Amino acid sequence: MTRPAILITGAATGIGRAIAVKFASQGYLVGAYDVDTTGLATLAAEIDHVVTGELDVRDPQAWQRALEELTRASEGRLDVLVNNAGILRSGPFAEIPLEAQQMIIDVNVNGVLTGCHTAYPFLKATPGAQVVNLASASAIYGQPELATYSASKFAVRGLTEALDLEWAADDITVRAVWPLFVATAMTEGMDIGTTRSLGIRLTAEDVAEEVYDVVQPHRLPQPVHRAVGRQAKLMLASAGFSPRWLLRRINSRLAAH
């Protein structure tokens, strides 16, 4: 049988790399893409059945090349697309250069949008295809000192919900995974109110395990959004019944530490 195929963005390091390693260990053909070609080379030496390539997620032509390359190797299959690539800047909104904040939107929002749009024909051609978008617990309520990053994840949340409804007729499932702070290079040295309050308790492997579980068959219907870790699960569950004023107060206190 042909191996199921997964395409992962931002796969050279951190969460994306952990997802690649996890799925490779489960027999998937892994398409690992990133702008970090050095990191991809070390990944390719670590796992079997992998296709790697340079991909700037903002570039639709680069997406098309990556998708064609992977599906040539997989006999046309694209079982899972993981939109993981993202960037983050933390600190007071007014002190972060505008160009850096615009880049966050370009990568975190336009990258996911471009990936979903370009991958759609490949997903539609694969029965039971799935998309997993990396969101964040910062999409529960706008986060001080993470304002633009938080806004970008709200956009990912909305796109995920809309496409899951829209693409159901094409047998494509769209899900979002919501970690809190993860111990990767992205959070190294981060010192803001919420990290001081909550700590950085998740590993990239924790997120990879959750992503793998999301795409497995389940007997019962699964939620569109899946939190990772006890803290994020509690926050996401409580957000479902807490009034907005209470969420605001909680976030204000967490950020004040």
The catalytic residues are: 149
Give the number of other Cβ atoms within 10 Å of residue 199's Cβ.
12
194, two tokens: 């919420």
Distance separating alpha carbons of residues 192 and 255, to the nearest angstrom: 7
CA 4 vs. chain centroid, Å, equals: 20
